[in-house]
């Protein structure tokens, strides 16, 4: 069994900052690309940022220069530092990870349960 647990969401004023965390646990042999996605009710889930096991990053244009994705491979944890937050950043943020559970298993993508981020004055 593999679990991804997000934390760090909340309510913040425009211009403020939040730091999201995603901790992976369970039967894990190796974690490959990890990412953050977000979804507003009634809309499709969208990519926010991804990071490979080697540290290469990719960002949606809407968050470039404001958000920073990082990971601690030793702790199986990923982070999203969100600065200069805008009301349009309001969404449920989901953690995603491509995980191999054993040397002989395939790689599967897992999702966390999501954490709400609300940006409002």
pLDDT digits (tens, 9 = 90+) for 111-121: 999 999 999 99
- How far apart CA 1 and CA 47 sit, in angstroms, is 25
pLDDT for res 111 = 98
pLDDT for res 116 = 98
pLDDT for res 90 = 98
Q: Are 21 and 79 in contact (CB under 8 A)?
A: yes
For 80-105, the pLDDT digits (tens) are 999 999 999 999 999 999 999 999 99
- How far apart CA 111 and CA 87 sit, in angstroms, is 25
- Angle subtended at Cα 14 by Cα 10 and Cα 19, rounded to the nearest 5 degrees: 40
Q: What does the block give as tokens for 73?
A: 């491979």
- How far apart CA 94 and CA 32 sit, in angstroms, is 17
For 23-81, the pLDDT digits (tens) are 999 999 999 999 999 999 999 999 999 999 999 999 999 999 999 999 999 999 999 99
CA 102, 59, 23, 94: dihedral to nearest 10 degrees? -100
Which residue, among 93, 67, 91, 92, has the nearest Cα to 80 in the 3D structure? 67
């Amino acid at each position: 069994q593999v679990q991804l647990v997000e934390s760090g969401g909340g309510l913040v004023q425009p211009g403020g900052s939040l730091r999201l965390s995603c901790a992976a646990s369970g039967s894990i042999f190796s974690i490959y690309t990890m990412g953050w996605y977000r979804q507003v009710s009634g809309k499709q889930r969208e990519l926010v940022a991804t990071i490979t096991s080697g540290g290469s990053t990719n960002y949606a244009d809407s968050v470039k220069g404001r958000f920073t994705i990082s990971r601690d491979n030793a702790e199986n944890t990923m982070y999203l530092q969100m600065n200069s937050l805008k009301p349009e950043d309001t969404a449920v943020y989901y953690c995603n990870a491509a995980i191999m559970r054993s040397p002989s298993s395939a790689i599967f993508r897992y999702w966390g349960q999501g954490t709400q981020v609300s940006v409002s004055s």
